[in-house]
A and B are shown apart, each in its own frame.
Chain A
């Protein structure tokens, strides 16, 4: 593998096969009095985040008023994918690791919930942490092996692991195999408070997603997050000053896996159905597309990408039979016209 030169200004990728990441995101605009924000910081901007949160909180009563309960379920699904996409953004955008097997972690979390429910364990307090643990463990295993490679080889090996898990679940007929596993109901949170109601489930999912998102944001602005992003920019230099890449990236990878597992657990509850299709490479590709669409390395990248993609899909499919064509056209336009994804589109241009 070609040696990377130690650059002094924003690094250009030296090894062509290693051309994985986009340039660093533009720095956030600095408000008047405070010192310039670090390149690696990602402020939350409550001015826009808070109204959005209020909008999300108001959604179920509005939907119920319009007698369109279906959209509460849809919104739940969008939130879950936003969580999954954000967890991928953690390793992809901020860690610089292109994982083509992320759907495996989501699917594993979903299966954990499904299998436990089939065995009679319906409590969310047991099943959901178990899902996160299972996915984190699998991510640890995959990361431990894959992170020894780089570039396109990293992509292919993460893909390989995901596909192996997929084929394993297809072959296990006790848990449905190719036909999938239907869940008898949703996880139970407490006696008398069941999640069968779409509205209640939506609020639980919203709360969890907000917590997870805030957690990621805090992490990114803390030392670990800075180290991770710096590693994305220049591993050799970071290694020289005492931050070995492998360890930090593995931690990030495992963490992202765990969060993806949570997303999977919520997804299983939302659709009431788990099947190996959740683990396939097409799903991993879909998650990648969402993150790229929303903006790799931007705090809101995963969320924006998931929201835009899924809503686009829903709206287009209601209006035309050939919506996939329109969807593809939109994606292509975004790639060609908005190189930093949608979240990076409106930001100021920088070197």
Chain B
């Protein structure tokens, strides 16, 4: 048996640990108190990336319009990618709250991610202003003083289409949504207002992009209308495959605004013409704030804004109004909460107010994908489906004192 008389060498661990400790201390230290720090955690990669990018762009446009300030204080927006994973989001949120010590959190697109990030955010007494996700849990039983929705409650847009489909007299509907909290909220909302026959109800995994199986089942089930909730890239894929399989000739396609917004239109184009969808906002809404928003967004980013961009923009303006109201005293959580609840800002939707569960009471419109005067494929607002519509879960909310 050989032994080698090697010189005793220290395991590198001590050295490595020391080196890394030094490097880690070079990381950003706690920020001074006279600025507003916002953690914008959103989906910036994967099929849902377009949605997160829109929220981010809308939010940052508002900050830019305010001269880099929110409510009179210089704003520092820390953008992070949640990779559409509740796991990653939770760790990143932890970092934003504990290391970067943000005052507000915003940006999450997907409700399963939202539900993972919510609890630790509220526990740390950080305000969350949602620019999209509006899970039914936070509207009802788990409502929380630190959660504010600048967007909508998940069910709402689907309720609007459900009513539309029922009003238009369709008898057999096939339903399709991803299998996660917002997907379930979606079909629950649809069925709340559509009482006809359901030919097929499918839930797909959130990362599924090939809808061959679902299309095959639809073909066999022979509905006369199809309702899908498939945000972002999922919707793009489905619509292309739906048209490619020939089903679009026999079945009318309905969706909520997200599945038929500018990002989907850009990717799919003419095959989408005639798709009805519902929305709480449209780029042709006639009010001063919206006109300014749409014009500036197009100038800054070279594209028409989507619903997500509008919500991101409104979230920033809501925070801006609240910070101005408390005159920058962000440590007074009770005052910030009251200011947020008062919602003194000009929304691109027109007049904006919160319900007791911190979700908005607002109008919902019916849109259709058509060609406008310049021959562009885009949405046109047809009419209003709901006025001053509240969500279905507010009754179950007993808002705890902060």
Contacts and interface: CB of A to CB of B under 8 A. Distances in A.
Contact of B6 (A26, A277, A345): A26
Contact of A343 (B6, B12, B112, B181): B12
B181 A70 contact: no
Contacts of B17: 52, 55, 307
B213 interface: no
Given A68-B99, A70-B99, A178-B205, A52 B14 contact: yes
Interface string B84-98: 011100110011001
Contacts, number: 128
B255 to A, nearest CB: 23
Interface stretch (B54-62, B115-123, B236-244): B115-123
Nearest to A274: B87
Interface string A322-351: 000000000000000000001101111111
Given A300-B11, A343-B12, A182 B119 contact: yes
A178 B179 contact: yes
A54 to B, nearest CB: 11
Interface string B248-287: 0000000000000000000000000000000000000000
A83 to B, nearest CB: 15
Given A70-B98, A178-B205, A29 B14 contact: no
A351 B2 contact: yes
Interface in A54-104: 55, 66-71, 73
A52 B13 contact: yes
Output the residue of B5, B29, B87, B181 with the most chain A CB within 10 A: B87
A85 B321 CA distance: 50
Interface stretch (B20-28, B190-198, B291-299, B311-319): B20-28
B387 interface: no
Contacts of A314: 24
Given A29-B7, A315-B24, A303 B94 contact: no
A181 to B, nearest CB: 9
A1 interface: no
A48 B87 contact: no
B120 A300 contact: no
B9 A346 contact: yes
Contacts of B24: 71, 311, 314-315
A43 to B, nearest CB: 11
Nearest to B94: A73
Contact of B116 (A31, A69, A273, A349): A273
Given A36-B3, A178-B206, A182-B115, A275 B99 contact: no
Contacts of B9: 29, 346-348
Contacts of A271: 87, 90-91, 94
A51 B1 CA distance: 33
Contacts of A345: 12
Given A179-B116, A343-B11, A346-B10, A273 B20 contact: no
A179 B205 CA distance: 11
B10 A29 contact: no
B6 A348 contact: yes
A237 to B, nearest CB: 15
Contacts of B3: 27, 30, 36-37
A175 to B, nearest CB: 14
Contacts of A178: 112, 179-180, 205-206
A208 interface: no
A31 B98 CA distance: 47
B6 A347 contact: yes
A318 interface: yes
A115 to B, nearest CB: 17
Nearest to A45: B11
A311 B21 CA distance: 9
Given A30-B3, A179-B181, A272-B90, A318 B27 contact: yes
A30 B4 CA distance: 8
B11 A48 contact: yes
Given A66-B25, A273-B90, A300 B13 contact: yes
B30 interface: yes
Contacts of B90: 271-273
Interface string B184-207: 000000000000000000000110
Interface of B: 1-14, 16-17, 20, 23-25, 27-30, 85-87, 90-91, 94-95, 98-99, 112, 115-116, 119-120, 179-181, 205-206
Interface of A: 26-27, 29-31, 36-37, 39, 45, 48, 51-52, 55, 66-71, 73, 177-180, 182, 184, 271-273, 275, 277-278, 300, 303-304, 307-308, 311-312, 314-315, 318, 342-343, 345-351
5 contacts: A48-B14, A52-B14, A68-B29, A73-B94, A275-B87
Smallest CB-CB A-B distances: 8 pairs: A348-B6, A70-B99, A179-B112, A70-B98, A311-B20, A346-B9, A36-B3, A350-B4
